[in-house]
A and B are shown apart, each in its own frame.
Chain A
C-alpha cells in the first residue's frame, strides 16, 4: 500500500507527541512493506528531502507568512499541498493520513482533487486543550469538526478521546477506531552512565531525581508539581526536580518556583536532545505526569519503557495506559498534596518501586509495540479502501 502521512511536525521539528508518533508509524509501516511518504513543514538545518529507514520525507517551505496565526496556518497548508502534489506525481498514493487539524485543509483538498480516501488521527481537541474561550479557539474547533466530517475514517489514541470526538463533534461511533500510541523499547536499551547524566542536570549522587517532561502549558499541570515541591522536600530533603520542556508558561513557572523558596532544587532545562532525554528518563527516580488534560500521555509510556516508576494524574488516556498500584501510581489532578503523596509512595519503598517498574515494562512490550500499531492502522486503511 502507498501511504502519505501529512503532519505539521516531524523530527527535528518536535513540538509535542505528534512528531514522535508520525516517525514511529512511518517507520513501522515501512518495515511492514508499505511505501510511505511523509509531507511536513521545514525546519532550520533539516533537508527538503530525505530517505529515512525505508520511507521518504518531504519538507515544505512556507514562502510567504502573515503575523496572524490562523492566516499563517492556511498559508502553510497551501505550500504543503504543492509539496504533496509533487510527491503524489511520483508515487500516486492510495491513501492520505493527516494528523490533527493543522494540516486538514491540505488533506481535504487532496482527498477531493484526487478522489483518494483520507484518514484523520485526532491527537487532541481544542475543546479539551482550551475550553473554547475566543474566536480563534472556535475557529480551530470548527476545523477539527470539518477534518472529522471529511475523513473516511478517524483514529484516536484512547477511548477517552473517542468519547470526546463522538460526543463533541457528533461523529458516528463506527467511524472512529482507537489505536494507541506506540513506543520502541529498544531505544531505552542503550548503555550510558546514569550518574554522569544526573550530574549534568544538577542532581548529586545521593539525591533523588523527580522528573517532569512536557510542554510548559496549563494542560500539562506542571504548576501543581511545583506547588508539591515543598511538601516532597520536607519528606525527602535530598530531592531535586528536573523540568524538561518549553512553553509560554515558563516564566510564570519559574516565578512560582522562586515563590516556593525551593528554586535551588528545581532545574528548568528547556528543550533537550532526544539522546539526553532518553538518558535522563532512565536515570530518574520517579517520573511525574501531572496533566490536567491528556488525550494519550506518551511521556508516561516512555517512562514505563525506560524503567522509571510513573506517578500520573488519572485523566484521559493516562487512565487507560496505567494501572494503579500495578504499573504506576495514580494521583488526583490539580492537587499538589496528592502528587506529593504519590511521589513519596514511590520514593519511600524501593520494593514497591521495583514491582511497578517490572510490571510496567512488561505492559509496554505487550500492548504498545509499533509493529502491532502499524498492523491495526493498515486494517483501518483497508477498511476505507474496501479491501478488508
Chain B
C-alpha cells in the first residue's frame, strides 16, 4: 500500500449527471427531439422542480441546450453533453 486512501470508491456520480444520461438515453439529443419539462417528467418519473434545477445546472455547464418550439421551452442534450454521457459507457 502507498499510504494514500483511494478516493474513487467514495466518489458518487452527481445526480444531475444521472439525469443527463436519462435525457440522452430517451433520445433528446438534437433540437428536433427536444422535450418539454412535462415530457421529461413523464420519461424520468422525477418532480418538475427537481427537473428545472437539474436543467439549469446542466445548461450552465453547456451540457443541455434550450429551444423554443410552439411557444414551449424544450431541452436537448448538446454535443458536449453527449460526449460527457458517453464517457460513462465506454
Chain A residues in the interface with B (C-beta under 8 A)? 9, 13-16, 18, 43-45, 62-69, 71-72, 102, 215-218, 223-224, 227, 245-249, 251-252, 256, 270-271, 332, 334-338
Which residues from chain A contact B14 at a C-beta distance below 8 Å?
Answer: 248, 251
With A44-B29, A67-B44, A68-B25 given, is the CB distance from A15 to B90 under 8 Å? yes
The 5 nearest A-B residue pairs measured at CB: A65-B27, A218-B8, A67-B22, A72-B25, A16-B90
Q: Is the CB of B2 within 8 A of A338?
A: yes
Taking the closest CB of chain A, its distance from the CB of B58, in whole angstroms, is: 12
The total number of A-B Cβ pairs within 8 Å is 84
Q: Is the CB of B27 within 8 A of A271?
A: no
Which residues from chain A contact B2 at a C-beta distance below 8 Å?
Answer: 332, 334-338
- CB-contacts of B13-54 with A (<8 A): 13-14, 17, 21-22, 25-30, 43-44
The chain B residue sitting closest to A42, CB to CB, is: B29
Taking the closest CB of chain A, its distance from the CB of B8, in whole angstroms, is: 4
Taking the closest CB of chain A, its distance from the CB of B34, in whole angstroms, is: 12
> Within the assembled complex, what's the spacing in Å between the Cα atoms of A251 and B15?
12
Taking the closest CB of chain B, its distance from the CB of A6, in whole angstroms, is: 15
Taking the closest CB of chain A, its distance from the CB of B75, in whole angstroms, is: 14
The chain A residue sitting closest to B23, CB to CB, is: A67
> Within the assembled complex, what's the spacing in Å between the Cα atoms of A109 and B73?
41
Q: Is the CB of A224 within 8 A of B4?
A: yes
Q: Is the CB of A249 within 8 A of B11?
A: yes
Q: Is the CB of A67 within 8 A of B25?
A: yes
Secondary structure at the A interface, as helix, strand, loop or mixed, is loop
Please list 25 pairs of residues, one from A and one from B, whose beta carbons are closer than 8 Å in the complex, sorted by A's number. A9-B86, A14-B83, A16-B90, A44-B30, A65-B25, A65-B27, A65-B28, A66-B25, A72-B25, A102-B89, A215-B90, A217-B88, A218-B8, A224-B4, A246-B84, A247-B88, A248-B84, A248-B88, A249-B8, A249-B11, A251-B14, A252-B11, A332-B2, A334-B4, A336-B2
Which residues from chain A contact B90 at a C-beta distance below 8 Å?
Answer: 9, 15-16, 18, 215
The chain B residue sitting closest to A63, CB to CB, is: B27
B82 CB-CB contact with A under 8 Å: yes
Selected from B30, B43, B87, the residue in CB contact (under 8 A) with A67 is B43
Which residues from chain B contact A246 at a C-beta distance below 8 Å?
Answer: 80, 83-84, 87
B68 CB-CB contact with A under 8 Å: no
> Within the assembled complex, what's the spacing in Å between the Cα atoms of A336 and B5?
11
> Within the assembled complex, what's the spacing in Å between the Cα atoms of A252 and B10?
11
> Within the assembled complex, what's the spacing in Å between the Cα atoms of A13 and B89?
13
> Within the assembled complex, what's the spacing in Å between the Cα atoms of A245 and B86?
12
Q: Is the CB of A215 within 8 A of B8?
A: no
Selected from A15, A64, A67, A227, the residue in CB contact (under 8 A) with B89 is A15
Which residues from chain B contact A64 at a C-beta distance below 8 Å?
Answer: 27
B70 CB-CB contact with A under 8 Å: no
Which residues from chain B contact A247 at a C-beta distance below 8 Å?
Answer: 84, 87-88
Known interface pairs A44-B30, A216-B87; 10 further A-B residue pairs with C-beta atoms within 8 A, sorted by A's residue number = A44-B82, A62-B27, A69-B21, A102-B89, A245-B87, A246-B80, A248-B14, A249-B11, A334-B2, A335-B2
Interface centre among A44, A66, A335 (most CB of B within 10 A): A44
Taking the closest CB of chain B, its distance from the CB of A67, in whole angstroms, is: 4
Q: Is the CB of B83 within 8 A of A335?
A: no
Selected from B4, B30, B86, the residue in CB contact (under 8 A) with A336 is B4
> Within the assembled complex, what's the spacing in Å between the Cα atoms of A193 and B80?
27
Taking the closest CB of chain B, its distance from the CB of A330, in whole angstroms, is: 15
Q: Is the CB of A69 within 8 A of B87?
A: no
With A9-B86, A62-B27, A67-B22 given, is the CB distance from A248 to B17 under 8 Å? yes
B72 CB-CB contact with A under 8 Å: no
The chain A residue sitting closest to B19, CB to CB, is: A67
Which residues from chain B contact A251 at a C-beta distance below 8 Å?
Answer: 14
The chain B residue sitting closest to A71, CB to CB, is: B25
Taking the closest CB of chain B, its distance from the CB of A263, in whole angstroms, is: 17
> Within the assembled complex, what's the spacing in Å between the Cα atoms of A270 and B87?
12
Q: Is the CB of A67 within 8 A of B83?
A: no
